């Protein structure tokens, strides 16, 4: 695992827990962002990159591109309808937030993005992340919803009370499901790219400016010099169930 970003003298940077994709690692996600996002964006963030709790149970799609070890947050069947160790994944993220937080938000790619949205929804319903500060911001890359009806009913409230930034690839096999995910948020910021299921490259002025504007809004809400993030004692008051 790794981290990037130092606290500024007068205003702390937004702090995100970054959840990597299926059968990759925290270090791989850190390297992907470092290669694809400009310093003018990354230098404004304080990012922490943990590894998922389970060693990869099969071949990684990044094998030969990034070195092992590889990890996964949970397991699923070929139809994405049956999940294993999901509650353990939820619990592990809360442990990480206690051990390494506090955090302002979650950033996730692929499996990490699915997990990030689910955790924000569960926190709204008082069913997870009950011992850590409210997740206020989400950055979702190649995200999707859980397809199994019983899981979706459990984790998603009618609305998720988080400001959110979504990257959606036109060739992403999860694109349609990722589009449906937008319905859970009020005024989500959406950046589209022409690639597939990948950590998006920020190399166009328009997309860089939209991310910068999202960060400006976060920075405006963070008190200068504030090193602590208060715990919202009653999450259900701000999240629709």
Q: Which of 104, 101, 105 lies closest to 116, judged by CA?
A: 105
DSSP state of 166: E
The pTM is what? 0.89
Question: Radius of gyration (Cα) for the chain, nearest Å?
Answer: 17
Residue found by looking up tokens 């992907």 in the block: 32
Task: Provide the pLDDT for residue 8.
Answer: 43
Q: Which two tokens stand for residue 41?
A: 């964006």
Task: Provide the pLDDT for residue 132.
Answer: 97
Task: Provide the pLDDT for residue 177.
Answer: 85
Residue found by looking up tokens 């049956």 in the block: 82
CA atoms within 13 A on the CB side of 89: 26
| Contact predicate 156/180, CB 8 Å | no
Q: Report, as ranges of residue numbers, the positions in the chain whose pLDDT lies below 50.
A: 5-9, 227, 230-238, 241
Task: Provide the pLDDT for residue 11.
Answer: 72
Q: Rounded to an integer, what distance in angstroms lies between the CA atom of residue 181 and that of residue 92? A: 23
Q: Which of 199, 138, 203, 202 lies closest to 172, judged by CA?
A: 199
Omega within 30 of 0 (cis) for the link into 102: yes
Q: How many CB atoms lie within 10 A of CB 128?
A: 20
| Contact predicate 48/6, CB 8 Å | no
Buried b (16+ CB within 10 A) or exposed e, 156-182: bbebbbbbbbbbbbeebebbebbeebe
Burial class (CB in 10 A: 0-12, 13-18, 19+), 83: middle
| Mean pLDDT of all residues belonging to the chain | 89
């Amino acid at each position: 695992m790794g981290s990037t970003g130092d606290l500024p003298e007068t205003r702390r940077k937004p702090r995100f827990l970054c959840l990597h994709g299926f059968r990759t690692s925290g270090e791989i996600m850190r390297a992907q962002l470092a290669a694809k996002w400009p310093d003018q964006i990354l230098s404004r963030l304080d990012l922490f990159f943990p590894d998922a709790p389970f060693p990869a149970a099969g071949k990684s799609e990044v094998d030969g591109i990034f070195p092992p070890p590889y990890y996964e947050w949970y397991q699923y069947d070929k139809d994405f309808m049956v999940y294993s160790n999901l509650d353990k994944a939820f619990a592990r993220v809360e442990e990480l937030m206690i051990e390494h937080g506090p955090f302002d938000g979650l950033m996730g790619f692929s499996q990490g993005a699915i997990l990030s949205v689910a955790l924000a929804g569960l926190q709204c319903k008082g069913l997870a992340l009950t011992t850590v500060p409210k997740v206020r911001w989400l950055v979702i890359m190649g995200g999707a919803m859980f397809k199994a009806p019983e899981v979706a009913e459990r984790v998603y409230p009618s609305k998720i009370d988080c400001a959110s930034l979504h990257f959606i690839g036109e060739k992403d096999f999860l694109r349609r499901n990722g589009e449906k995910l937008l319905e859970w948020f009020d005024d989500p910021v959406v950046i589209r790219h022409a690639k597939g299921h990948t950590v998006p490259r920020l190399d166009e002025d328009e997309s860089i400016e939209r991310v910068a504007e999202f960060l400006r809004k976060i920075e405006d809400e963070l008190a200068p010099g504030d090193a602590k993030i208060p715990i919202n004692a009653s999450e259900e008051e701000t999240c629709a169930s």
